[in-house]
Structure formats: structure tokens, C-alpha cells
Amino acid sequence: MIHASAIDRFLNTFGSWALALLWGLPLAFAIWTAIHPAEFEANFELLAPLTTVNFVKAWEAAPFARYFLNTFILVTLILACQFFLGTLAAFAFARFQFPGRGILFGLVLLQLLVMPDILIVENYQTMRFFNLVDTIPAIALPYIASGFGIFLLRQTFMTVPKELDEAARLEGASTLGLLWRVYVPLAKPTYLAYGLVSVSHHWNNFLWPLIITNSVETRPVTVGLSVFASTDSGTEWSVINAATLMTSAPLLIGFLLFQRQFVQSFMRAGIK
Amino acid sequence: MTRRIEWVHAWLLLLPAMVFLFTFTHLPAVRTIIDSFFSTARGRRKSVFVGLENYQQLIDDPTFWKVLANNLWFALGTIPTSIAIALVMALWVNEKLAGRSFIRMAYFTPTVLPLIAVANIWLFFYTPGFGLFDQIATGLFDTGQHNFLGNPDTALAAVMVVTVWKEAGFFMIFYLAALQTIPPSLLEAARVEGAGRWTIFWRVVFPLLMPTTLFVSVNAVINSFRLVDHLFILTGGGPNNASSLLLFYIYETAFRFWDTAYAATLTVVLLVMLSLLAIGQFFLFDRKVHYK
């Protein structure tokens, strides 16, 4: 019995490690080529000289500083608006009785299925109508009212004890005061979880920004990277890989530092 | 009287979010359907009502049927595979194996990378001649060069591998969350009854994970229609549309050929697919799944 479980344990450990190494291989390979000179691209010598020249070349070959700034503005804008709109709407759904509640909530949930990602044709025409093509707000607008965010916050607000709500009302708190002083502080873990999911989602988003932007001043890093990797076929692989790592680095480093929070945030956002 | 005030408060709270939801989700969805009955405005020629002409074009368009079939194969190929791998990953990470946090990190890392960056990394893997795959293949079997992405028979499969790599770790998280809610006493009871690990998994754990499996499946189906970023880098939908998916074809139609009416018609097909998914989910699963 004990022997059987020891073998079992060994096989499981072995299998999980084999899969982990396989899963880590592509990234490890990209890192290898990025930190070594081009001639070691496909030539794995343990003592190959290290270099940062690929990163320098990539940084100088395209306006990545600007791309990073654009992405930073974009994700901040989206997150701030999502928090604001989501909090107000979630509060209404969680603690108010009013006509049209069921239908409106259904319409909010519909966005979990019909995402702005697939409505690119019509949304582009809307942006052209508002004369917003090639601006950062145009990238953000379709995403700032998030059905997912409203749903998540509503679930959290519904767990706030009614007694706290009533006590604050008795002390004369207004509707917004109540929301700000009682509900928002109690939902902090949900905001953190949703924030991490949202930031990583919009940092990585590509198709809509590709469509709606066409200048250096508005392009986020993902679009900048694709332009960089495709325009110049003469660019060395090691430089492209360096650029690839550079664009992913902020999220990757954030993930490595706050691994536990990241995983728990995704879990929290998923199971609710 | 106070009830009326409560109503007004609620509506005011909802108003800002609803304005944006309607402007960028509901109205565009409705307008997509309307536009599919009109022609594309070109130059001085205005858009006119053409009835079902766009749909006739759709039925006669071999590329449409090709990308639809591709999308089906893509879904069939990626969804069960990534879910199965995700489940195995979660079972392993949930156990107290040596180096657990490293293993979890390795599984989850692809999830935080941009899909466009992932595609760049894998493109280098697939490069004929000196990409890693060819190096390994040449080293082991001496088979010469492979152009996985340039060959119509393998391009879609190559794209699917990348997708599974990217998604499995994401789905693992949901299984992990679900596994942690299973009471240990339940597993203990099964063990006392003399059930082996295999029996416990299939009779106890797997049924308890059913809601998660359904939730993940629905997400995976949506993603299979929504995620096309990697196509831009890996294959561009080619060769000869062998790896193109529906949303990518919509993009090409709308923003390369500027035929917005036909692109709207293609989007209607996508909306129909998602509606079928919603109806299916409602009738088949909703009884058994409880989202808290």
C-alpha cells in the first residue's frame, strides 16, 4: 500500500515537472535568444556570452517609449472608467428594487457573450461618426462599461450585511455616501482582482487597437510590436525576441512578484 | 412616494454604464443585422436596400464555408485538449508535490503574455530550417525541413498548438479554485471505503467539477470565435485561407477590402453562433450549474 502510493507520488511529480518544463520551454527559448548575440540564436552553449545589445537595438529601432506611454494611458483610462461605471451600476442592481431591473441586468449579462471584440465593423463606424478614429479614447470606449465588471461587483455588494447598510442610513448617509463609505471599502479584494484581470486583458488586447489606430502617437505596445516585427523582414530574430519580451515584461515581472495575488485574483474573478 | 425616489436613484446610478453598453454593444449588434440587408456604400454610390443579396453572396462564397469549417475544427481541436490539460495541471498543482510553486508558475505564465507576443515566440519555433522544431526533428530523425505554417495541411494545427499552450493555464485556475472547495472529508470517506485514486477521481472529484467544466467550456467556445490575434503574426490566415478563422475573415473583409455590408453579414453568422451557444447553455446546463 505504502509502496504503491510512493510510486504514484513519484510518477505524479515526474509528470508535473515534465509538463512544466515543456510549458516553460518557449519562453525560456525566447529569453535565451534575447540575451545572447545573434550567432547563438540556435546554438546552445552554456557559456555563450551574455549581451543586452538586442534590447538596445529594439528600443532604438521603434518608438517603444511612446508605445508604452500609450498603453499605460489606455489601461489606466479603461480601469478608472470601469471602476466608476461598474460601481454605480452594480450598486443599483445589488440593493435597489425598480421596474426594469431584470431586463436591464439581462442586457448587462448579454455582454459576456456578445463582446465588443466581435463588433469591430459597427464600432469602427461609430468612432468615425464621432470623429474619434486614431485616438486613445476610441480604443477604450467600447470596453469601459463592462458587463463582467458589473456582475462581479454586484455579487460582492450583495454579500455586504444589511445591518451595516441600515446603520449607515440611520446616521443619515446619502445614497452615494453609503456606497462610498460602506460598500466600496468592503469590496476592495474584488476591485484588486478585477483590476488585475482588466489591466492584463487590455495590455494584451490587439485586434481593436490595430483597427482603430494608425499612428505612433496612439498605438499601444501590442500593435507597435506587430508593426515592428512585420515591416522589417531583415531584422534579426534575437532583436524581435528582445522586443517581444520587452512588451510583455511589465506584466511578466508584475506576475512573478505578485504571483499569489495574480492567481487568486483570476480565481476570484472566475468562480463568482 | 419614497419608492419612486428609490426608482429614480437606481435609474440614475445605472444610466452612465447603460449609455456606454448600449452605444458599443447592443446598438452595434442590432445595426449589424440591419446593415446585412444593405449594400456597401462606395464613392458616390449610396448604400441601398438589397434584401437577402448579401446572404446569397455568403452561401456562394467558398471562402466563407472554408473559414467556418476551420473555426469548427479549431474549436474541436483546441477546446477538449486545453480543458483536459488544464484539469491534469490543476490536479497536480493541487497536490503537495515538490516544487509546486515553480510548476504553477510555468503553467500559468503563458496566460499573462500578450497573444501577439506568444505568436512571435512560436513563429521562431516553427521557422523552417533553424527553428527549434526542425532542429529537434533533424537531430532525431534527419527528416529535412518542415514548413509547418506554410503548408495548408499543417497550418491550422500549428496555430491550434499555440492556442492550447496559451489557454490551458488559464483554465487550470478555475479547476484549481473548484478543487479547493471540495471538502477533504469527502475524499477521506471515499478512501476509507476502499476506493482507489482512479475511482475517487471519476466517481467523486470529476462529477463535483462538472459546473467548472461547463463554465470553462462556454468560455472556451467564446474564445475560439474571439481570439485571432496570433493569426496576424503566424500565418495571416494563409496559405490560401487554410488557417483563417471567421473573425479574421470579417477583419479582412471590412478593413482590407472595405466591404462593410458583407462584413456585417459575416458578423451576423458569428452572432447566430453565439446565440446558439447561449440557448444551448440555458437549456442543457443551467439546471445543473449554479453560479453563486
Q: Where do we find the cell 491550422? A: B156
Torsion, Cα A244 A249 A252 A258, to 10 degrees, reads 180
- Model confidence pLDDT, tens digit, residues A31-46: 888 888 877 666 666 6
Percent of chain B scored above 70 by pLDDT? 93
Q: What is the pLDDT of residue A50?
A: 80
Q: What is the mean pLDDT of residues A81-93?
A: 95
Radius of gyration of chain A (CA): 24
| A240: pLDDT strictly greater than 50 | yes
Q: Give the confidence band of A2 by pLDDT, cuts at 50, 70, 90.
A: low
The Cα-based distances of B233 to B79, B167, B194, B225 in angstroms read: 22, 18, 53, 18
Q: What is the mean pLDDT of residues A64-82?
A: 95
| B265: pLDDT strictly greater than 50 | yes
Amino acid type, A257 = L
**A36-45, B31-40, B143-152, B223-232: least confidently modelled range:** A36-45
Quote the CA–CA distance of B49 and B39 in Å, as a whole number: 6
Q: What is the mean pLDDT of residues A50-57?
A: 83
| Whether complex ipTM tops 0.95 | no
- For testing contact with chain B, the best of A7, A118, A176, A228 (most B CBs within 10 A): A118
- Model confidence pLDDT, tens digit, residues A172-228: 888 888 899 899 999 988 898 888 889 989 999 999 999 999 999 999 999 999 888
Phi and psi of B49, rounded to 5°? -70, 125
Contact B120 A225 (CB under 8 A): yes
The Cα-based distances of B148 to B68, B107, B122, B238 in angstroms read: 21, 25, 11, 12
Quote the CA–CA distance of A3 and A10 in Å, as a whole number: 11
Q: What is the pLDDT of residue B255?
A: 92
B48 touches chain A (CB under 8 A): no
| A233: pLDDT strictly greater than 60 | no
**Which among B10, B85, B174 has the least Cβ separation from residue A271?**
B174
Instruction: Please state, rounded to an integer, the average pLDDT across all residues of chain A.
Output: 86
Contact A204, B113 (CB under 8 A): yes
All residues at 6 or more sequence positions from B155 whose CB lies less than 8 Å from its CB, including other chains: B148, B149, B235, B238, B239, B242, B243
- Model confidence pLDDT, tens digit, residues A124-179: 999 999 999 999 999 999 999 999 999 989 988 998 888 888 888 888 888 888 89
Q: What is the pLDDT of residue A272?
A: 46
B105 touches chain A (CB under 8 A): yes
Buried b (16+ CB within 10 A) or exposed e, B25-39: bbebbebbeebbbbb
- Secondary structure of residue B142 in the 3-state scheme: coil
Q: Which residues pair with B42 in a beta bridge?
A: B45
Q: Give the confidence band of B144 by pLDDT, cuts at 50, 70, 90.
A: low
User: How many CB atoms sit inside 10 A of residue B121's CB?
Assistant: 24
Q: What is the pLDDT of residue A232?
A: 57
Q: What is the pLDDT of residue A1?
A: 46
Q: Which of residues 123-182 of A touch B (CB under 8 A)?
A: 123-126, 141-145, 147, 150, 155, 175
Q: Give the confidence band of B289 by pLDDT, cuts at 50, 70, 90.
A: very low
* Chain A residues inside the 8 Å CB shell of B108: 255, 259, 262-263
Q: What is the pLDDT of residue A45?
A: 66
Quote the CA–CA distance of B100 and B90 in Å, as a whole number: 11
Contact B121 A113 (CB under 8 A): no
Q: What is the pLDDT of residue A231?
A: 62
Which residue segments constitute the domains of chain A, with CATH numbers given? 2-55 (no CATH), 63-271 (1.10.3720.10)
B276 touches chain A (CB under 8 A): no
Quote the CA–CA distance of A100 and A108 in Å, as a whole number: 12
Q: What is the pLDDT of residue B267?
A: 95
**B92-96, B144-148, B216-220, B222-226: least confidently modelled range:** B144-148
Percent of chain B scored above 90 by pLDDT? 40
C-alpha cell at position B61: 462564397
| B211: pLDDT strictly greater than 80 | yes
C-alpha cell at position A270: 472566475
Contact A90, A153 (CB under 8 A): yes
Q: Give the confidence band of B236 by pLDDT, cuts at 50, 70, 90.
A: confident
Contact A203 B114 (CB under 8 A): yes
User: How many CB atoms sit inside 10 A of residue A8's CB?
Assistant: 12
Quote the CA–CA distance of A126 and A163 in Å, as a whole number: 45
How many contacts does A have with B, using Cβ atoms within 8 A?
270
Which residue segments constitute the domains of chain B, with CATH numbers given? 52-285 (1.10.3720.10)
Q: Which residues pair with B49 in a beta bridge?
A: B38
Q: What is the pLDDT of residue B3?
A: 79
The Cα-based distances of B290 to A143, B66, B173 in angstroms read: 27, 37, 18
Q: What is the pLDDT of residue A43?
A: 64
Contact A35, A51 (CB under 8 A): yes
Percent of chain A scored above 70 by pLDDT? 91
Instruction: Please state, rounded to an integer, the average pLDDT across all residues of chain B.
Output: 87
Alpha helix locations (H) across A42-133?
Answer: 53-61, 64-95, 101-110, 120-129
Q: Which of residues 48-107 of A touch B (CB under 8 A)?
A: 84-86, 88-89, 91-93, 96-99, 101, 104, 107
Task: Please give the biggest Cα pair distance in chain B.
Answer: 84
Higher pLDDT, A116 or B128: A116
Quote the CA–CA distance of B26 and B156 in Å, as a whole number: 32
All residues at 6 or more sequence positions from A45 whose CB lies less than 8 Å from its CB, including other chains: none
The Cα-based distances of B80 to A18, B60, B77, B214, B224 in angstroms read: 21, 32, 7, 12, 12
Q: What is the mean pLDDT of residues B126-136?
A: 74
- Model confidence pLDDT, tens digit, residues B56-111: 999 999 999 999 999 999 999 999 999 999 999 999 988 877 788 888 889 988 98
Contact A267 B174 (CB under 8 A): yes
A24 touches chain B (CB under 8 A): yes
Radius of gyration of chain B (CA): 24
Q: What is the pLDDT of residue B64?
A: 94
DSSP letters of B173-214?
HHHHHHHTTS-HHHHHHHHHTT--HHHHIIIIIHHHTHHHHH
